Structure 1
């Protein structure tokens, strides 16, 4: 069987003017994720990432540890949903507030539920069905290309990873609303592919943030 590792990007700049920039903590998290993959013996035969800055930077930093010389192919289908646009249309325009991230998370989750419920009729630039379709397309294309013994690594975002897990376990809605809230920065999700399809083996592994690295564990 082949293996696909989905790695969430490192911590971005929550509450800053430009969220889509890895923080110093985010760079350290990405480096540890790469080292963890290397420790497991992962030698990616191919790598992919979205086009967002935080995803690309995570890919470069992690691959330097586990796949020197491997360059992640950029594909916008691996990009996260647009949380600003969704909040504007379904959440009353709530903005990130570094002083109260819990309140923002609650408001965003409510907006995501409304986004899902609106379906194709939603006012956001990208509706929930359109998001699911592009994520599914990117994932299925990759899964079909991963042969026996091959290892692929994707650097993407929590919403994308949670939606894929939902597709594999039952429904993408359940995945996004249930799993996304507990996704850690630079967490690792492992899938295996074979003749019987794709199977989720683990979600959101973050043992690389145990012990001395415990201070690097973050969710937002």
Structure 2
């Protein structure tokens, strides 16, 4: 079987004017997850990332640790949902607030719930069915390129990982929120694919942030 490792990007700049930039901690997390993949002896034959700055920066830092000769191919289908647009249409315009991240998370959960329930009728530029469809298409296309025993790494975002995990466990609508709210920055999710199909093997692994690395653990 082939394996695909989905890596959430390192911590971005929550509450800042430009969210789409890795924080100092995010840069450290990116190197740490690369070192973890190297420790596991992951042989990277393919790498992908979205086009967002935080995803590309995470890919560059992690691959420098585990596969310096590999360059991640950018694909916008691995980009995160537009949280600003979703909040505007389904969450009363709730904005990121670094002083109260829990309140923002609650507002985002409510907005995402409304977005999912609205389906194709949502006024957002990208509806939930369209988002899920392009994430699944990106995964299916990558899986089709891998031969037996090959391994790929994708540097993406929490919503993408949550949507795919939900789909692979048969609960795409509820899975988005269930998985999304607990994904850690630079966590690792493993998917295996072969003749029997594509299967979620592990979700949100972050043992590389245990012990001495505990100070690097973050969810937002």
Q: Partner residue of 1:97?
A: 97
Q: How does 1:85-124 map to 2 (within 5 A)?
A: 85-124=85-124
The number of residue pairs the alignment matches comes to 220
* CA RMSD of superposed structures (Å): 0.6
User: SS in structure 2 opposite 1:182?
Assistant: coil
Output the CA distance in 1 between the equivalents of 2:128 and 2:192: 26
Q: Distance in 1 between matches of 2:198 and 2:39?
A: 24
Q: Give the Cα separation in 2 of the matches to 1:147 and 1:106.
A: 42
Aligned to 2:153: 153
Q: Distance in 1 between matches of 2:76 and 2:207?
A: 29
In structure 1, how many angstroms separate the alpha carbons of the residues matched to 2:176 and 2:10?
Answer: 19
Alignment of 1:194-213 (within 5 A): 194-213=194-213
CA deviation digits over 1:132-176, x for unaligned, max 9?
A: 111111011011111101000000000000111111101211221
Q: Alpha-carbon deviations, 1:102-137, whole Å to 9, x = none?
A: 000000000000000111110111011110111111
Report the counterpart of residue 68 of structure 1 in structure 2: 68
Deviation of residue 196 (structure 1)?
A: 0.1
Listed as ranges, the gaps of 5+ residues in structure 1 are none
Q: TM-score, normalised by structure 1?
A: 0.99
Query: Equivalents in 2 of 1:213, 1:201: separation in Å?
Result: 24
Cα distance in 2 between the residues matched to 1:33 and 1:213: 11
The equivalent residue for 1:7 is 7
1:76, distance to aligned residue in structure 2 (A)? 0.2
In 1: Cα distance, 2:7 partner to 2:68 partner: 17
Does the alignment pair 1:44 with 2:44?
yes
State TM-score, norm by structure 2.
0.99
2:34 aligned partner: 34
How many Å separate the matches in 2 of 1:145 and 1:207? 29
Q: Distance in 2 between matches of 1:131 and 1:106?
A: 21
Q: Which runs of 5+ in 2 are unaligned?
A: none
